[in-house]
Every structure is written in C-alpha cells, then in structure tokens.
Amino acid sequence: MVRNTNLLKRTGKKVIASVCVASILFGMTVSAADRPGAKWMDSGIFGVFKDAPEIRPQDDFAAYVNRKWAEKVKIAEGESNASSRTEQTERVNEAKIKVITGEKKDDKNLTSVQNLYNLLLDWDSRDKNEYKVLKKYTDDILSISSIDELTEFYSDKERNLLMGPNVEDIVTANEMDALSNIFVLLTPKMVGPRAEYYDGADKGNDSDLIKVVRQSSEYVLERAGYDKKQAKELTDSCINFELKLAPAKRSMEKKEQEMGPEALATVLTSKELEERYKNIPFIDIYKKLGYDLKDSSVRIYYVDMIDEYDKLYTEENLEELKAWTLVHTIIDISDYLDRDTYEAMAKFSEPMTGTDSVKDDQAYAMETIQKLAKYQIDEVYANYCFDQDIKPQVMELTKMMVDEYREMLQAEDWLSDETKKLAIEKLDNIKLNVCYPDKFLDAGTLDIKSSDEGETVLDAVAEAKQYALGRKIKLLTIKNDGTYWSDLENCSELGAAYEPAENSLNIMAAICGGDYYDPDWPLEKKLGGLCMIVGHEISHAFDTKGANYDKDGNLADWWQPEDKAEFKKRVAKLNKYYAALVPAPEISDEPYGEEGAIHVNGEAIADLGSLKCLLGIAKKQKNFDYEMFFTQIATIQKNARYDAAEQFYIATESHPVECYRCNIPVQNYDEFLETYDVKEGDGMYLAPEDRITVW
C-alpha cells in the first residue's frame, strides 16, 4: 500500500455495460469469452463456491488454492468479510486483550488503554451519560450567532471536537524538503469521498452513502433531544452546504485524474495564506489551537475546494456552516455514544457493507482503541505482546529483498545508465522501518481516567483528540530524519506501507504472523507470505506515484525523458489489460474500464515487481519448492466478502480484488506456468507477447 491522497474512483454504477465496450475504447477487438481472466471467478465473494464444478490450478489458481478454506469459513459478527487479514487481526487483538485485561503496571500508556477499554465496555454507564455530554457540544454549536463566533469556536480545542475549522489536515514530510515536516490542508470535510455521491441530492435522489448520513445524523439529533423537524432541517443544511462545495470537488477530481495529486499541490507561506483567504483566518485559528505557523509554509492539496470554502465562509451561510459543523461532529463521535446508537448506525450502513456491522464487544473495543489511542496501543503492543526476536529476522529478509531489487534494476535494459544510477541510489537510501520504532515519539501523555474517577467515553474522546492535536504540533518542531516513524504508521495494526515523501519502507509488527509469517517456516513460505508484502512496498518506490520522488523523498523528476516515456508505455500496457477485466463477474458485468485501471495500477505494479524480485531470490536457492511458494502467495490473498461489500471494495479500493492480486502476477512468469504445466487454452495462460512487465 502506498499512501495517496487520490480519492478518485467509480461508484458501483454500470458506467460501462460490457467488456466489449471497454475493448472498443482501448482499440481492442475482444469477445467476452476471450477477455483476460475469462475463466476466473471472483473467489473473494462469500459463498461463491456453492455448486461450483471442480477447479484446476491451470485455470484459476486463486480459486483452486483457497476453495477449501472458503467453503468452511464463517464471517464474524459485524464484519463484512473474512480473510488472512481478519484472522491475523483476531490473533493480534487476543494478544492485546490479554495484556489490557491483565495486571496493572507502572505504565501510563497501558493504564490509559486499560481505562479506555473498560469505559467502552461499560454500556450501562454509556446509556446514562454519553448523550448528556454530547448535548453540551451540540447546544454550544447551535448557540453561535455570528461568523466571528464560529471562528472563535473553531479556535477552541476545549469546545471543538473537530480540532480545527472542519478541514482535513495532517503533518507529514515536506515533499520539497523531506527532512522537514510540513502542515498540510487537504480538503474541507465532506461526507461523500467523491463528487458523484452528491449527484441527485439536490433533487431528493440521494446516493446510498448520503442516505446513510441523513439517517445517522437525524437519529442522533433526535436522541439528543431535538425534534424530528429540527433534526431533518439541520441535516439538510449540512448536505446543502456540501452541495455548494461539490462542483469544486468535481473540478479537482478531474484535474487529479489528468495530472496526478502532486501536480495540484500548492505551497504558501503563512503570509500568502493570510492574503489569499480573506474570510476564514486559517493562521489565526491554528495559532490559537497551538500551532506555530508564523514562519512556516503550508501545503494545500485541493486548492479549488479551500478557495470555495473561503468564499462560502460568510454571515450569509452561517446557519449552513453551523449545521455542517454539527453533523460532522456527530459523525465523528457516533461510535462512542450508547448501545442503541451503535446498533442503529450499523443497521443504517448495511446496504453498503452487506452486514449490520455490530461486532462483539471485544472486537468493537479494540477497533475503537486503535482509533482513539493508536500511539499508546503501539507501545503496549511492542512492549508486551510481540516477540521481539522476530524483528531482526524480518530485517534480514528485507535487506535480502533490497539486494535482489538492486540486481533487478541493474538488469533493466530499457533504463539508461543515468536513470538506473539514480533509481539504485533511491533504493539504497530507503529507510527500513521494521516491526516497531526503535524510539517512540514523546508527545506528552494521554491521561484517560477510569469511570470511578468520573470519566465518560466522550471525555476520553475529547482527551484523545487533544492528544492527537498536540502530537501534530510536536511533529512540526522536529526533523524528519528517520528517528521516528511517520504518524501515518502504527505498528500494532496490520499492514505495510511505502511513504514516498520519506522514502521509507514500513513493515508493522502486527502483520508478522498468521498466514504472513512464522519464524519456523521454510524460506519458500516466508517469501510467498510476508516477503510478498515487503516486495510489494519496495516496488511502490517505483510505481506511478513513487517514481515522482527522489532518494530523499523530495518531489523531483530524476528520470531521463526517454526512460520516462518507456515507463509510461509499460504502464499503458498494464492499464489496457486491467481495463478489460471484469472484477466480479458473478454480480456485475462491469469491467474496470480506463478509470478503474488507472486507479489500481500502482498496486498492480507493486504486486508484479514483488514477484519478480522473489523469483530472482528463488533462482539462487537449491531445490526451491515453487509449489509451496506459489501456494502461499494465493493463501495470503484468501478472502470471503459479502456481495455488497465486494461491490463497494471494487468501487473505492486502489487495490485490485484479491484473486487478481494472486492470479495476474503469477501468470506472467514461466516458473508458475512450468510448475503447474499451464498450456495455451488454460485459464491461467498468458502468451509471452501479452505479459505485463513494468519492472
């Protein structure tokens, strides 16, 4: 996974009705029977194997490997899918819960997490207290009588649970000076991640997501004591305000698709920010919240949207601005109210997830702790839950893969010596953040008290948000020199990521188990498991996004023009292949299409690059067991997801569906075809001239 601010993607609508249409768009003449992956099922759909005939590895490798698991698996209560990831998450949570429910220690992080865990599971107290606390916040917002008072509210971290002027913001590595961190304004908060979610909302024809937002907001407002009419009017006002922002959002999406998110970013000095935005005083608001931006630069990603927000920040729009702030506050804290509200929110989201999303109490508590106290649970997990002997083992494997990738780059005959030299320098300069940080950032203490001390869950939420604010402020004062991990990464949460603006590879401790890693495994399983993930992240340094950053993490063009042209030609071939694929033929005949292919190409490039790297290592081993290796690659992509959730995944995720993440990389290499005796006419066969090679 590469971090990307790009939120573009299709909805589940049938924008293109058939594979043949996509083929025409891309200049192909391909019948449905001959399209790529025509013999594959979406083996990641729950129940898809019922009454399915025998499946051969030569026709659909992912389905062949994972069928027995999929036929027996049950999806946990409140979850929309089961997978290698959910199974390992359950193991990780069990380890955390054992520590959290165990003995008290002289550890402030552990004490806060223990208190939060107990507060979350005390539903009786939550039923009595949380709406009373919420009402104080909502009444405060509605009492605002002028735009100046709204600005004052946004500037007060004691009153404002959003901790700012309702804008998504982060502190991250400066893309123009990677050793420094920079404050980033992303976009005004909107309930819909893309402009098309608002299509029809002004005519009463809401998308499923807007319907969920309306239901949720009105429910909470009524529970908080507002009458049905007022609850509806406030919610309508919020959506109406976002409809005013939607055209700017659509404009930015179009530019982003054409040029990429990096091309849209604007950096302003604090003085320029003040001069540009006459209505909303960003610098003053953030100064009162504790930031020192006086002599700093600020990066703005979605400038058109921030510009539009400033135009709308007037007395004339005050009531809509208040409603917009109120509804986003409600959305932000709806998981932390009483039991009835939790179950109602889950029910409202069912059309989008395929389940009512009500988890068992322990799973709910751990998921919530991971959101509210993620930095504290990181230290608890590293100190008390994780086998620290694993860290040097994973580091050794990672270095082996970097060495192999260096040989890969050196052997790329399409790269000029100049570009190749800089690519290898970038590879050698990647920061390897493995398992957990050697040093955790000291940003003060999150002091969550117990219910015996009068604490409520919403009190804890407010404290957690203030802690997170203080942490961002602290990050602006330190050098981004590799001493600390990026705040985008959490070692107690499953995952791995490449951060282009830091040129860092981040492998979280929590993913080092289950189907991904066992220290006692043979090399073949380790390579097919965790190493497939690690190689994927290394490859992100050279995908369509990562390739725009240099060895220090600075946004820079280090390519020779002819090399970049060849790179784009290779990516175009990959896009053409993916555009014709139908990712869920059992529930829709819609192919990825051009836009969908572009959206997933970074992850697809990373999967292909990882496998090439691993096969290079395999060739150097004696009696390498390719069948064990390829089987593990399929195993880590096992998945069973409800139909609605699969459609939502395809519509929003930057990763291809899991079965593609197995089948497409392996079908491109002779080692797989030879291991399983794949011949022309088999579902897994891909002719040499059609194979995809980016790296």
Structure tokens at 373: 């106290």
Q: Do domains 19-95+388-441+479-690 and 144-350 have the same CATH topology?
A: no
pLDDT at 537 over 50: yes
Separation between Cα atoms, residue 63 and residue 84, nearest integer Å: 15
CA 208 to mean position of chain CA atoms: 21
Express as a percent the part of the chain with pLDDT over 70. Answer: 94
CATH number for the 19-95+388-441+479-690 domain, one of 3.20.20.210, 3.40.390.10, 3.60.10.10, 3.40.50.2300? 3.40.390.10
Confidence at residue 486, expressed as pLDDT on a 0 to 100 scale: 86
Sorted by where each begins, the domain ranges of the chain are 19-95+388-441+479-690, 144-350
Confidence at residue 1, expressed as pLDDT on a 0 to 100 scale: 63
* First-residue to last-residue Cα distance in the chain: 17
| pLDDT-based confidence at residue 177 (cuts at 50, 70, 90) | confident
Sheet holding 177-188, edge to edge: 167-174, 177-188, 297-300, 266-269
What is the total residue count of the chain? 695
Separation between Cα atoms, residue 551 and residue 553, nearest integer Å: 6
Return the HEC string of 62-85: HHHHHHHHHHHCCCCCCCCEEEHH
pLDDT at 22 over 80: no
pLDDT at 281 over 90: yes
Bigger pLDDT: 318 or 17?
A: 318
Sign of CA dihedral 661, 662, 665, 667: negative
**Residue 612, phi then psi, degrees to nearest 5:** -60, -45
pLDDT at 13 over 70: no
Confidence at residue 5, expressed as pLDDT on a 0 to 100 scale: 32
**Residue 617, phi then psi, degrees to nearest 5:** -65, -40
Low-confidence winner among 343-352, 444-453, 522-531, 611-620 (lowest mean pLDDT): 343-352
Check: CB of residue 646 under 8 Å from CB of residue 26.
no
Confidence at residue 23, expressed as pLDDT on a 0 to 100 scale: 36
Query: Across residues 109-132, what is the average pLDDT?
Result: 96
pLDDT at 80 over 50: yes
Instruction: Identify the DSSP state of 639.
Output: E
| pLDDT-based confidence at residue 16 (cuts at 50, 70, 90) | very low
Confidence at residue 626, expressed as pLDDT on a 0 to 100 scale: 98
| pLDDT-based confidence at residue 261 (cuts at 50, 70, 90) | low
Check: CB of residue 15 under 8 Å from CB of residue 592.
no
Mean pLDDT: which of 73-82, 140-149, 286-295 is highest? Answer: 140-149
Q: Which CATH architecture has domain 144-350?
A: Orthogonal Bundle (1.10)
282: exposed, middle or buried (C-beta count within 10 Å: 0-12, 13-18, 19+)? buried
Mean pLDDT: which of 16-20, 149-153, 592-596 is highest? Answer: 149-153
pLDDT at 225 over 70: yes
Confidence at residue 340, expressed as pLDDT on a 0 to 100 scale: 95
| pLDDT-based confidence at residue 107 (cuts at 50, 70, 90) | very high
Low-confidence winner among 18-22, 613-617, 691-695 (lowest mean pLDDT): 18-22
pLDDT digits (tens, 9 = 90+) for 401-443: 999 999 999 999 999 999 999 999 999 999 999 999 999 999 9
Instruction: List the alpha helices (DSSP H) in 523-587.
Output: 523-528, 530-539, 561-579
Q: Are strands 431-435 and 297-300 parallel, antiparallel or unpaired?
A: unpaired
| pLDDT-based confidence at residue 21 (cuts at 50, 70, 90) | very low
Separation between Cα atoms, residue 301 and residue 184, nearest integer Å: 8
Confidence at residue 24, expressed as pLDDT on a 0 to 100 scale: 32
Bridge partners, residue 188, by sequence:
167
pLDDT digits (tens, 9 = 90+) for 475-521: 999 988 888 898 888 999 999 999 998 999 999 999 999 999 999 99
